[in-house]
Amino acid sequence: MGGKLPRWRSIISQLADQLNALGERLVSALAEAHDAAALESVRVRFLGRSGEVTALRRGIGSLPPAERPEAGKVVNEAVTVWERLLAATDAALQRRALDAQLDVAIDVTFPAPPARAGSLHPLRRAMEDACAYFERRGFAVVLGDEMETEYYNFDALNIPPDHPAREGLDSFYLASGLLLRTHTSPMQIRTMQAHPPPIAIVVPGKSYRRDSMDARHSPMFNQIEGLMVAPGINMGHLKGMLTGMCREVFGPNQAVRFRPSFFPFTEPSAEVDTTCPGCGGSGSLAGGGCKTCGGAGWIEIGGSGMVHPEVLRESGYDPELVSGWAFGVGIERIAMVRHDMDDIRVLFENDPRVLEQLA
Ligand SMILES: [Zn+2]
């Protein structure tokens, strides 16, 4: 037997030498490939259609037919190994690129930006604070429809058909014959007609009047209405409650004063003023006059009075047995004074940059 190998073995070992040499060159080319483009050019050079492996395969065609299958198998095995090598190099390059990006992008010791917490809208806060004062004193919070009949919005509140407030210019009438309520007062009637005295309610909600939008007016505004009816109720009770509410929403030193006024549904009637929180009631600030109150020391927040006997009668109550007070205070007014704002539109624009400052 000594030393005489079959001829195909020597061909295969020759081929193996070629493959080993090719493999070594491939490995050193891969070691030089530092990015995806370089890697691709290595792949094309060795394994591409016109690459070195293709040239090698072509040589197999010139081998004796009996040896071709074995030669093809050896080449395929080598190619499989090299393809894995290329894939591994590709993965390593991608990992390195990602690591480089992460090194730049993430510094885990960098302080995080402060979390942005939401907050209640200034109008909502003003309304909730005003309601909370009365709720703690046993008042029920009552909500009503924003669409009302003329009866509840006007007639039952002693506002006769010839009253200026009923002219089309002041109210939004709907096609159905209803109108958008011009105040929250219809809920006085609806509550009294549904419940016998005593009554103690507040009604927060939207009201509508045909005003053009400007710094002081809005066709939609929010009110909180109060109503208390029981035997022996008088204006002193009203003043005490309004003073308490003003202290809740503006601060502990608030005072309240009444100015005589007229409303069809109260008698007597009074405008409600409270101490200007901007200047503490003095009307002046270190730098001159107080802008919030125009130097008066007082700001008007709403209207009030003793419930008119006609309104009590219309609701089924006997004015000889019970009496009551009612008030309506503007929520926008509270929010504007609280935040020293001179334009009501800011409250409706909902610019997050402004709301963040008011939070
Ligand atoms: Zn003032």
pLDDT the model gives residue 247: 95
249 CA to centre of ligand 1 in angstroms: 16
133 CA to centre of ligand 1 in angstroms: 24
344 CA to centre of ligand 1 in angstroms: 18
242 CA to centre of ligand 1 in angstroms: 19
CA distance 30 to 22: 12
274 CA to centre of ligand 1 in angstroms: 10
pLDDT the model gives residue 84: 94
Neighbour tally for 30: CB within 10 Å: 21
287 CA to centre of ligand 1 in angstroms: 12
250 CA to centre of ligand 1 in angstroms: 13
224 CA to centre of ligand 1 in angstroms: 23
Parallel/antiparallel/unpaired status of strands 199-208 and 140-141: parallel
285 CA to centre of ligand 1 in angstroms: 8
Neighbour tally for 217: CB within 10 Å: 13
pLDDT the model gives residue 125: 95
Say if CB 310 and CB 158 are below 8 A apart: yes
Phi, psi at 173, each rounded to 5°: -90, 140
233 CA to centre of ligand 1 in angstroms: 32
Q: How far is CA 49 from CA 15, 137, 153, 186, in A?
A: 20, 90, 89, 89
Amino acid at 254: Q
pLDDT the model gives residue 5: 56
β-bridge partners, 284: 289
3 CA to centre of ligand 1 in angstroms: 118
292 CA to centre of ligand 1 in angstroms: 5
Say if CB 80 and CB 67 are below 8 A apart: no
Amino acid at 156: A
pLDDT the model gives residue 1: 45
CA distance 341 to 250: 14
280 CA to centre of ligand 1 in angstroms: 7
259 CA to centre of ligand 1 in angstroms: 18
49 CA to centre of ligand 1 in angstroms: 89
CA neighbor of 284 nearest in space, from 271, 270, 296? 296
290 CA to centre of ligand 1 in angstroms: 4
40 CA to centre of ligand 1 in angstroms: 78
pLDDT the model gives residue 60: 85
206 CA to centre of ligand 1 in angstroms: 27
- For the chain, 359 residues long, the average pLDDT of each consecutive 10-residue run is 56 83 92 91 91 87 84 90 93 90 79 86 96 97 95 93 77 90 95 96 95 90 97 97 96 96 95 93 87 90 97 97 97 92 91 87
pLDDT the model gives residue 309: 97
Element containing residue 131 per DSSP (H, E): helix 122-135
pLDDT the model gives residue 275: 95
